[in-house]
Chain A
Amino acid sequence: MTASARIAPPSGLLHEPGAPARAGHDPAGVALNRHRAYPLPALGSALFLAALFAVAAAPGLFTAHDPLVGDVLEGLKAPDWAHPFGTDRLGRDVLARTLYGARYSLLIGLGGMTVSVLAGVFLGILAGQRNRFLDEVTSRLFDVLSSFPGVLLAMLVVTFLGQGMLNIALAVGIAGIPKFGRIVRAQTQLVRDADYVTQAAIYGLGRRQIFLRHVLPNVLVAVPVIATVYIGSTILTVSGLSFLGLGPQPPIPEWGVMLAESRDVLRVAWWPAVFPGAAITLTVIAFSTVGVFLQKRFEGRIA
């Protein structure tokens, strides 16, 4: 027994103890942990993400300005009441552009992640089987993919497939495959050798039944959590590629595109760069914070 861990009331010796440690019946120590279960950063991040999704769904509700049309005479105005984030070189409202941009960043980020998850889960499960050949082939594929820097690989894909939102999502998605694949492979191996899988064999279940009923679901529980942590960095990569001109093209108010456009005027106006930059930063942080929180929350339940 460890000194501090066993705070739950000790069970009676000769009477079957009731269930130990159920919420609400716990002594102070456990109850305290319950309060800490929703830390402020995770809560704040979740609220931010909720707002972000709302903005992405209906940006028009949050601003009256048009993100694509501006008055050139009003160009590069510092933030004031009319334009809280100021205006860019062409006089477009930076706030409106940032809000409308959420849609593109989220969409491409989610799309890229979906590609990574689908391909990564499939290949990872394949690699995690008790088949040396499959494992070698898929693992080496992961090695090859991850030996290129993510951005470089994505650039390569875009060069082949051409620019555009779908292609950039695909590019980022492919770059993210090894990350998911390796985690899913490890998870599959863990579940494959778990006692409950052995137990299922003792029931007399067939291999396919065991896989569908016990292995697959327990591998998949880990995926949403990893995906949440990962989506932040996907969005960052997308913005990077857009900044380099490989993604959506101007005048689309994608955040990376906005950063690229603001580069020329950075000496005289900070606001066209700072606000979309802050949006990227906050989004990445929020996804990571929520993801890490989920990870801690589900620790132990996974595998």
Chain B
Amino acid sequence: MRDAAEASATGALPPLVDIRNLSIGFGGPPIVQGVDLVVRAGECVALVGESGSGKSLTARSLLNLAGAGATVEAHRFHLQGRDAKAFGAADWRRLRGTVTGLVMQDALVSLDPLRTIGQEVAEVLSEHRLLAGRKAIGARVLDVLARVGIPDPEHRARQYAHQLSGGLRQRALIASAIAGEPDLIIADEPTTSLDVTVQAQVLQVLAGRVRAGAGLLLISHDLAVVAGIADWVLVMRHGRVVDSGPTAEVLTRPRHPYTKGLIAAIPSSASRGRRLTGAAQAIRGDGGNPASAPSQDIVLEVRGIAKHYAGAAGYGRPAFATKALDDVSFVVKAGEVVGLVGESGSGKSTCAKIILGLLAPDHGDVRLLGQPWSGIPETQRRGLRPRLQYVPQDALSSFDPRYRVSDIIGENLAGHARADRAARVVELLEQVGLAADIAARNPSSLSGGQRQRVSIARALAAEPALIVCDEPVSALDIGIQAQVLDLLADLRARLGTALLFISHDLGVIQHLADRVLVFHHGKLVEQGPLGEILTHPTDAYTRALLASQPRLELGQAFA
């Protein structure tokens, strides 16, 4: 399968991982089938695929962690040149931590809450008797923490996982994975929950280990992340490898239609005005140019809003005041898509809550359709409520668990007579590309994409002038994300509803937005038309954000 790599290795060292025809099952039909996987020292191999494609399972089988009741079969299962099929429990234990290190997605649940990160890293060293003596271990712990880019390691080593930010926590987890200087690192979506700027740092740490001679098996759903770091890509679908080859080749000349679809589905500035799903077809609507002429009518006006959170002093903690939002002003015009970007904690959600009238600002005010919106009693807001709707990130939790789809959408049809509602629900379902029979279903039996469509249909039911979309696609697989983004672009072209689109993903914003607002530490650091922000960012943070965005074009490599 890998003739080129085979030749280049010239047989000096056996590959770290050499697996042929791997299949994994849980009693029924195999979940993973016919997978060939070779990872060599100093090389990064990426497993790409959507959730359920079997990529994590494949990676876990390398540590014999496929799960209880799993049957793992392979024609050849060699780790470091040794036949792992003959391994006993003790062999596997020795392998984990010394030969291989595992980095998982959620560092908070992967790190022991009762131990400091220093202890966590030290455990790998003492458990496998890599180093003897408390002093030597302590020194190595600090060294490793510094190497993964944790500032002030002496101080941080004494902290617990919950005291660290997401980025630091993930780096601590990587530190514990690489402390034993393993030859092979397995990273399962190591950056998925992180902000882009932190993601770039974490990828750099991993790339550094590869340069130092370790092998890296990177699992990701994000082709753009993979593009910057991997030497070899395997695209998995339904438990099989559908495409594989050197990264540049797979990404620029994908052979399999599935890979082509995956690549086309990535939203970016290049994909504007084009459908992400299917052929290079323009967005339905007038003339296929969704960016055309938003009118000058102002739908939403935000003037100098600020919000502070104050906390009283507690045990070992001084009183504090956090500026969640500081003097933010912007407008949204009718039919316009305004993208709101920022990292977690930048004040995006606070801003959304104030706009939705769920939170009162400390200063400033919000006007909706020219009428006062913030600072008035809820009863006076109610008449305008239908004009401003909301599409949350997690659609399922925003549905009453007792409700069927028709109840969910029907509840927002307050203006309609009861008899007309059923017909209107079907109409709305059609508008978001769902069949009428979905109406009778319970949302928990729907797929993630379908749920998000129902959520959009519910928002449309009120015939709003503005929909606030809070990370509506960030929990979806890339293919489903593409469909939902296409749907939003379609609806916007057809109905002229303005969107305030909140996202941490610059690619999504670039694909959809006319104007961009960049939030950082509660401040609106930059706003302007998309093109301007992309080409001439004036703010340092915007520049950093643009620079850390992973791109499919191999311009930005971490090596």
Give residues in A with beta carbon < 8 Å to B.
1-4, 6-14, 16-22, 27-29, 32, 194-196, 198-204, 206-207, 213-214, 217-218, 221, 301, 303
Cβ-defined contact, A11 with B447, below 8 A: yes
Cβ-defined contact, B450 with A19, below 8 A: yes
Cβ-defined contact, A217 with B402, below 8 A: yes
Cβ-defined contact, B402 with A7, below 8 A: no
Cβ-defined contact, A203 with B265, below 8 A: no
With A2-B56, A196-B399, A201-B378 known, 18 other A-B pairs at CB within 8 A are A4-B70, A10-B53, A10-B239, A13-B265, A13-B478, A13-B479, A14-B265, A16-B483, A28-B27, A28-B28, A196-B397, A196-B401, A199-B392, A203-B412, A203-B462, A204-B381, A207-B378, A221-B402
**Is B314 located at the chain interface by the 8 A CB criterion?**
no
* Contact among A32, A195, A213, A218 for B398, CB-based, below 8 A: A195
A199 and B277 alpha carbons, distance in the complex (Å) = 30
A14 and B382 alpha carbons, distance in the complex (Å) = 40
A7 and B477 alpha carbons, distance in the complex (Å) = 16
A4 and B32 alpha carbons, distance in the complex (Å) = 11
A106 and B66 alpha carbons, distance in the complex (Å) = 49
Q: Smallest Cβ distance from A27 to chain B, in angstroms?
A: 5
Q: Smallest Cβ distance from B191 to chain A, in angstroms?
A: 15
**Is B139 located at the chain interface by the 8 A CB criterion?**
no
A-binding segment of B164-172, B336-344, B383-391: B383-391
Cβ-defined contact, A1 with B397, below 8 A: no
The 6 tightest CB contacts between A and B, nearest first, are A28-B28, A204-B385, A10-B52, A13-B479, A4-B67, A195-B398
What are 7 inter-chain pairs, A to B, with CB distance below 8 A?
Answer: A13-B477, A16-B449, A16-B483, A17-B447, A21-B445, A27-B29, A196-B401
* Contact among B28, B65, B66, B450 for A16, CB-based, below 8 A: B450
**Is B547 located at the chain interface by the 8 A CB criterion?**
no
* Contact among A32, A204, A218 for B402, CB-based, below 8 A: A218
* Contact among A7, A17, A200 for B31, CB-based, below 8 A: A7
A117 and B449 alpha carbons, distance in the complex (Å) = 40
Q: Which residue of A lies closest to B59 (CB)?
A: A3
Q: Smallest Cβ distance from A128 to chain B, in angstroms?
A: 17
In this complex, the interface size class of chain B, counting residues with CB under 8 Å from chain A, is 35 or more
Cβ-defined contact, A204 with B414, below 8 A: yes
Instruction: Specify which chain B residues have a CB less than 8 angstroms from the CB of A200 in the assembled complex.
Output: 400, 411
A20 and B237 alpha carbons, distance in the complex (Å) = 16
A29 and B31 alpha carbons, distance in the complex (Å) = 11
Q: Which residue of A lies closest to B53 (CB)?
A: A10
Cβ-defined contact, B390 with A14, below 8 A: no
Interface centre among A12, A194, A204, by most B CB within 10 Å?
A: A204
Instruction: Specify which chain B residues have a CB less than 8 angstroms from the CB of A28 in the assembled complex.
Output: 26-29
Q: Mark B334-359, 1 if CB is under 8 A from A, else 0.
A: 00000000000000000000001010
Q: Which residue of B lies closest to A22 (CB)?
A: B445
CB proximity to A under 8 Å, residues B1-46: 26-29, 31
Instruction: Specify which chain A residues have a CB less than 8 angstroms from the CB of B308 in the assembled complex.
Output: none
Cβ-defined contact, A206 with B382, below 8 A: yes
Instruction: Specify which chain A residues have a CB less than 8 angstroms from the CB of B399 in the assembled complex.
Output: 196, 199
**Is B441 located at the chain interface by the 8 A CB criterion?**
yes
A8 and B28 alpha carbons, distance in the complex (Å) = 12
Cβ-defined contact, A195 with B392, below 8 A: yes
* Contact among A10, A207, A218, A221 for B51, CB-based, below 8 A: A10
* Contact among A14, A19, A199 for B446, CB-based, below 8 A: A19
Q: Smallest Cβ distance from A220 to chain B, in angstroms?
A: 10
Cβ-defined contact, B385 with A203, below 8 A: yes
A27 and B31 alpha carbons, distance in the complex (Å) = 10
Q: Which residue of A lies closest to B382 (CB)?
A: A204
Instruction: Specify which chain B residues have a CB less than 8 angstroms from the CB of A207 in the assembled complex.
Output: 378
Q: Smallest Cβ distance from B311 to chain A, in angstroms?
A: 17
Q: Smallest Cβ distance from B350 to chain A, in angstroms?
A: 14
Cβ-defined contact, B382 with A7, below 8 A: no
Q: Smallest Cβ distance from A200 to chain B, in angstroms?
A: 8
**Is B294 located at the chain interface by the 8 A CB criterion?**
no
**Is B60 located at the chain interface by the 8 A CB criterion?**
yes
A198 and B393 alpha carbons, distance in the complex (Å) = 13
Cβ-defined contact, A199 with B398, below 8 A: yes
Instruction: Specify which chain A residues have a CB less than 8 angstroms from the CB of B477 in the assembled complex.
Output: 11, 13
Instruction: Specify which chain B residues have a CB less than 8 angstroms from the CB of A206 in the assembled complex.
Output: 379, 382
A28 and B399 alpha carbons, distance in the complex (Å) = 30
Instruction: Specify which chain A residues have a CB less than 8 angstroms from the CB of B390 in the assembled complex.
Output: 199, 202
**Is B327 located at the chain interface by the 8 A CB criterion?**
no
Instruction: Specify which chain B residues have a CB less than 8 angstroms from the CB of A204 in the assembled complex.
Output: 381-383, 385-386, 414
**Is B304 located at the chain interface by the 8 A CB criterion?**
no
Cβ-defined contact, A194 with B449, below 8 A: no
A2 and B55 alpha carbons, distance in the complex (Å) = 10
Cβ-defined contact, A196 with B278, below 8 A: no
Instruction: Specify which chain A residues have a CB less than 8 angstroms from the CB of B389 in the assembled complex.
Output: 202
Cβ-defined contact, A14 with B398, below 8 A: no
A73 and B530 alpha carbons, distance in the complex (Å) = 102
A12 and B26 alpha carbons, distance in the complex (Å) = 22
